[in-house]
Amino acid sequence: MRKVYLIGFMGCGKSVIGKRLSFATKMPFYDMDYEIVKKTGMTIPEIFESYGEERFRDMETEFLRTFRDESCIIATGGGVPMRKENREIMRKSGLVFYLNAPFRDIWRRISTDRNRPIVQQSTRADVEKLYNDRKPHYFNNAHFKVETERRTLREITDYMA
Ligand code: S3P
């Protein structure tokens, strides 16, 4: 089995679904943001603040380039599929699942999260625009599309496993 990549907008459920899927499949789970935080010893807002978003994007690409665990589940950051190189690495080394959720659900989950600098620095309308701009990138680069709306976590993970 190769890697399983979960892609989608912030708050679509990549981490929570990834953990459940890991439990169901016995494959180890990694959260890309958490791996970057562990490596740098900084929070995501601190990385954005000290180095800027572009450097954070480089760290994401670096993670994808160098991560060696062969068979595992990876929850990617919401911006990861925006880079062509990232998309190529993911599609070549594994299966890519896009988790889709409606914007109103996403906003409810992320609007008060202080750990997501993009949300902190933007209005709801800005974030909704980003959601709409990114959607085709997620959609066109996934091997599988998973609709999460009106489905329980169990239904979603059973379907994916
Ligand atoms: C980002 C999503 C975040 C994190 C960073 C930037 C984005 O990850 O990587 O705050 O640009 O969409 P999640 O998708 O896990 O929230």
Domains in the chain with CATH codes: 10-157 (3.40.50.300)
19-72 tens-digit pLDDT: 999 999 999 999 999 999 999 999 999 999 999 999 999 999 999 999 987 899
Q: Using the structure block, give the residue that is written with the tokens 């990232």.
A: 86
Pocket test for ligand 1, best of 33, 56, 82, 107 (most atoms within 8 A of CB): 33
pTM for this model (two decimals): 0.96
ipTM over 0.90: yes
Cα–Cα distance for residue pair 32/74, rounded to 1 Å = 7
Residues 6 or more apart whose CB falls under 8 angstroms from that of 53 comprise: 117
Name residues contacting ligand 1 (CB within 6 A). Answer: 10, 14, 33, 44, 77-79, 116-118
DSSP state at residue 77: P
